[in-house]
Structure 1
Amino acid sequence: MSNELVIVKTTVGAPVENVFAVLADPSSHQAIDGTGWVRESLDGKPLTENGQIFRMAMYHGNHPDGAYEMANKVVALESPSVIAWEPGQAGPEGEIEYGGWIWRYDLAPAGADRTDVTLTYDWSAVPQELRDEIQFPPFPLAHLENSLGHLAQLAEQR
């Protein structure tokens, strides 16, 4: 773990295709999330290509509005081994402004029915003015570990 990157790993008792399918379905992200911030998918479409934007309803008690929306851009998608996105929000003119952090999952088969999962939360591109407002990472490490546990449960149920 560096001062701008957190990496957590686990092994899931499910084939790599099942794990990837859960991650590529934004409607499952609420169940994966360990903080309770992620709500429902607003698009209802699976992630299928780099550059795709998918919107998620969110809630955080410290957010000025409580409820808000994130527009996430897929920045890596190689089925069934890599999926990553960069969260952003609509700016004053409606354009999406990205904060500089990325969620990335790397998946590797660990036998017929097991998958090694590496979750990376990278905030190295967050501008200083945002770092002055928000502490990074904005959650404890346990959030990422819980998230991987939730992902494992969902993938193993498929």
Structure 2
Amino acid sequence: MDQENVNAGRTVAAPAERVFAVLADPTAHSAIDGTGWVQEAADRAPLTEVGQIFRMGMYHANHPDGDYQVANQVLVLDPPRAIGWRTGTEKDDGHLEFGGWIWRYDLAPLGPSETLVTLTYDWSAVPQSLREHIRFPPFGPDHLSDSLHHLAELVSGR
């Protein structure tokens, strides 16, 4: 595959500020994900600055431990227009190591009560050593659209 990113878009019936607030809340991420991979937020504080680290409990049947934790670093924080982070792990000595993939949400207001949300997953910086063990993207073709559907439901209170 030559393309090293995928994206999906959806119109959400809410102002961009409300959508952004949900995305900046790590405790909402498991509900947005919808695969069962993303579990509870270990760091529950809202995302407020570039460089901020937030950890999430994860589960994946193909992971050697099943349950594990990721450390995410905020790379983009432009309220209420964009938010994004890279995912990695924290070593026993506290050193963070990132895998080379990024999650990014871009929000474009379509009026006072609608927002076009584009979710992009980019794995262009993943080193070859990881690509030998993990298929990219590591999810099916409907995952991004499904996540945006969950986000829309969460934002609207359904």
Asked whether the equivalents of residues 34 and 144 of structure 1 are also in contact (C-alpha less than 8 Å), the reply is no
CA distance in 2, matches of 1:34, 1:103: 15
Q: Map of 1:17-96 to 2, 5 A cutoff?
A: 17-91=17-91, 93-96=93-96
In 2, the alpha carbon distance for the partners of 1:76 and 1:9 equals 18
Consecutive unaligned residues of structure 1, counting only runs of 5 or more, are: none
1:96-126 per-residue CA deviation (whole Å, 9 max, x = no partner) reads 1000000000001001100000100000000
The residue that corresponds to 1:143 in the other structure is 143
Note the C-alpha offset of 1:40: 0.6
Q: Secondary structure at the match of 1:125?
A: coil
What displacement does 1:136 show?
A: 0.1
**Match in the other structure for 1:101:** 101
1:119 aligns with: 119
1:44: how far off? 1.1
Which amino acid counterpart does residue 130 of structure 1 have in structure 2?
Answer: L
Write the letter of the residue equivalent to 1:82.
A
Aligned-pair CA distance for 1:91: 2.9
Alpha-carbon separation, structure 2, partners of 1:92 and 1:132: 24
Q: CA deviation at 1:2?
A: 5.8
Q: Distance in 1 between matches of 2:125 and 2:53?
A: 19
Q: Indicate the RMSD between aligned Cα atoms, in angstroms.
A: 1.4
| Partner Cα distance (2:83, 2:149) in 1 | 18
Q: CA offset at residue 3 of structure 1?
A: 1.8
Percentage identity across paired residues of the two chains: 61
The structural deviation recorded for 1:138 is 0.3
Could you tell me how far apart the structure 1 residues matched to 2:68 and 2:19 are? Answer: 28
TM-score by length of 2: 0.96
- Inter-partner Cα distance in structure 2 for 1:149 and 1:22: 13
Q: Distance in 1 between matches of 2:53 and 2:150?
A: 24
- In 2, distance between residues paired with 1:52 and 1:112? 30
Q: How has the CA–CA distance of structure 1 residues 26 and 125 changed in structure 2, closer, same or farther, with 3 Å as cutoff?
A: same
Task: State the distance in 2 between where 1:156 and 1:115 align.
Answer: 12
1:51-99 deviations in Å (ceiling 9; x for gaps): 0000000000110000000000000001000000000102353311000
Letter in 2 for 1:77: L
Q: Structure 1-normalised TM-score?
A: 0.96
